[in-house]
Chains A and B, each alone.
Chain A
Amino acid sequence: MKRIWATYIKEWHLMRRDLGGLSLLFLMPVLLISIMALVQDAPFKDYKNRKFEALIFDQDQGKISQAIQKGLEESGQFTLIRQHQNQALDSMTILSEIKAGKYQLAIMIPKGVSSEIYNSANLIANEMGKHMGIPGSLPHREAREGINIQIVFDPVSKPAFRIAIVNALEKFTTRVQFDIIMDRISALSGQADTSKKLDIEKQLRSVGVKEMQLHQQSSGIEKSNSVQHNVPAWAIFGMFFMVIIISENMIAERKGGSWNRLKSIPGPFFHLLMGKMLFYVLLGCVQFALMVLVGVYAMPLLGLDALQLGQAALFLPFIVISIASCATAFGILVGTVFKTTSQALPVAAVSVVILSAIGGIWVPLEVLPDSLKVLSVLSPMRWSLEGINTLLLRQGSLSDLLMPVSVLMLLSAAAMWMAWYTERKQSGLV
């Protein structure tokens, strides 16, 4: 135990003087989680909370197109721009403005939209009236095809943005059409007084679709947001930066001769590795705690939500110790296998990025190809994220941590065994 403690103290003295290492372990992850939470905040926000500038070219100029524009403006999501340099917009100007990247989208309402919607509404009202035994019919003709409200997107727009805008417009257009159909039916049945109309829309909304929160307010987690997803994920990534520091230090020890001096001192060499491990595991825990504090207190200063820990956070030390053990063991393995920093550092850095990519840090595991999903089982970051999400997002219990903690400890043990075996092989013992 004295040897383990002595090594712990030595590592502490070395680390407190290594400003580069300290900034890599603390400053870089703080920057990383702040920037990533900010960058990924937009996709997490409901599009209802955002406003878009949209060019509008109304060739229809009918009542319906006016209603659509009024509705779009009243929805609060769109600012409609009808003129360009005090001139009415036309399709050529719209296309050039979008191409130049000045606007993200344009809406073009072609001529005949109003008459087509009225005609469709009359057709539907007549058909329904016939079935209900209402005499008479509204003027109509055969429905035409191919009249569409067109949306033009900036080619740079992301697919998720396009889908959200198309859905919002389709929903609104359907509502306008629905209102007209109801007007037509009312007119057909002789109910001209709109105040007495049956508010069918309201009735239909009596059964809706609403997301139910898995955890009640009592759990402490109110809703999912960018901070809740990004701070733990990138804090895990930051913990694995330790691999670079540990491997670099071990190679410096070997090249400087301290390694051989240590081996010339009687006593199990494993004690020295354990002392090193103890120090870096505690350092990893401190690092994670700092990231959590940044999530709780610094994120609101950036205009983001605060990280919510909830009651399950009590179990965080179990998973955080496992993650730190795994990162440390991996660093010791890299530091043992490679002889020079020019070999070890690129391997350490690139392997951390690869493990994070297949571990679901960058993008959710669900969107990875099947082959990478299988491979992700080998990534300690997958199990790290699984464990943290179990606590911070799913509000899981201690028993829910059994799987990720066991896998992480198993991976740590495997890495330490490989380091020990490599060291013995290099010493000519096996």
Chain B
Amino acid sequence: MIRVSGLYKKYDHAEFPSVDHLSFSFPEGCIAGLLGPNGAGKTTTISILSGLIKKYSGEVEVMGMDVKKHAEEIKGKLGIVPQQIALYLNLSCRENLRYYGRLYGIPPITLGPLIEQLLKRFGLQEHGDKQIRHYSGGMKRRANIIASLLNQPALLILDEPTAGVDVQSRNMILRFLKEYNEEGNSILYTSHLLDEAEALCQEVLIIDQGQGVIQGSPAKLIQEHQTDNLENLFLKLTGFRVRD
């Protein structure tokens, strides 16, 4: 699904690289977790994988294609759920989804039913005509995910999709991710909620200061490092120093 080799990215005027010769790979069809403290380079890595950052060195392949050479093709098969609510707050949820759907070139005859199906799946059908700015935090997060599913992506990349949501919304999102994976799709997700990652992910990669620290299945890693859970393992590997 994803293969990264020697990835290096340093922003202009930055003192240190955000991603420093990072190499990893995730198999197709799995739920993979990209974990790390603040400033570890998770969002930069995701942005490179999704073709939003084009200036970097190293090799990056997504779904067997070089990101630099086949960016447009990859974008068509990829769904990105950004950390921010990347929706127009003054548009209704349906208007947002119709707009993004049209940009993907989905014909109206298909787009309408697809939007209704997704709204129903995320419990937003009755609120579809409300402007996003009137949504609660959890509803915004769910709408944010729906907008990334319109092209029915084979690989869904989520950047902290459950940040700031209530237990019910969180539960719904995680249940959906499992179901989506069971439908044969791959998922790459970042989170600071390590119990969530432990329960959801089949494979995790912990990175710190732009470099890979460790990779493997959560259960195996916990066993190998003789810790109680993923959070303790994370602290053991990345330390207790508070990051900016």
Contacts and interface: CB of A to CB of B under 8 A. Distances in A.
B86 A260 contact: yes
B78 A256 contact: no
Nearest to A253: B88
A415 to B, nearest CB: 24
Interface in B68-99: 72-73, 75-76, 78, 80, 82-91, 95, 98-99
B104 A265 contact: yes
A253 B89 CA distance: 10
B90 A17 contact: yes
Contacts of B52: 260, 263-264, 427
Contact of B54 (A5, A6, A258, A429): A429
B105 interface: yes
Interface residues of B, number: 36
Contact of A258 (B78, B86, B148): B86
Nearest to A275: B103
B104 A427 contact: no
A15 to B, nearest CB: 9
A262 interface: yes
A282 to B, nearest CB: 18
Contact of B147 (A13, A18, A261): A261
Interface string A400-430: 0000000000000000000000000001110
B131 interface: yes
A14 B87 CA distance: 12
B75 A264 contact: yes
Contact of B84 (A7, A257, A429): A257
Interface in B10-51: 47, 50-51
A190 interface: no
Nearest to A427: B54
B53 interface: yes
B53 A261 contact: no
A303 interface: no
A258 B88 contact: yes
A266 B105 CA distance: 9
Interface in A2-40: 2-3, 5-7, 9-10, 13-14, 17-18
B153 to A, nearest CB: 10
A369 interface: no
B70 to A, nearest CB: 10
B100 interface: yes
A9 B147 contact: no
B103 A267 contact: yes
B90 to A, nearest CB: 5
B233 to A, nearest CB: 31
A256 B84 contact: yes
B95 A6 contact: no
B72 A266 contact: yes
Contacts of A257: 82-86
A9 B82 contact: no
Contacts of B50: 264
A256 B75 contact: no
A6 B50 CA distance: 23
B121 interface: no
B75 A265 contact: yes
Contacts of A256: 84-89
B87 A262 contact: no
A3 B84 contact: no
Given A265-B104, A266-B75, A427-B54, A10 B99 contact: yes
Contacts of A265: 75, 100, 103-104, 151
A66 to B, nearest CB: 75
Contacts of A5: 102
A13 B95 contact: yes
A261 B82 contact: yes
A253 B95 CA distance: 16
B219 to A, nearest CB: 33
Contact of B91 (A6, A14, A264): A14
B175 interface: no
B90 A14 contact: yes
A257 B148 CA distance: 13
Contacts of B225: none
A367 B43 CA distance: 57
The 10 A-B pairs at the shortest CB distance, nearest first, are namely A428-B55, A257-B86, A257-B84, A6-B102, A261-B86, A266-B75, A10-B99, A266-B72, A266-B76, A428-B54
14 contacts: A6-B98, A10-B88, A10-B99, A17-B90, A18-B90, A256-B84, A256-B87, A256-B88, A261-B86, A262-B103, A265-B151, A266-B72, A266-B104, A428-B54
Given A14-B91, A263-B52, 4 more contacts: A256-B86, A261-B86, A264-B80, A427-B52
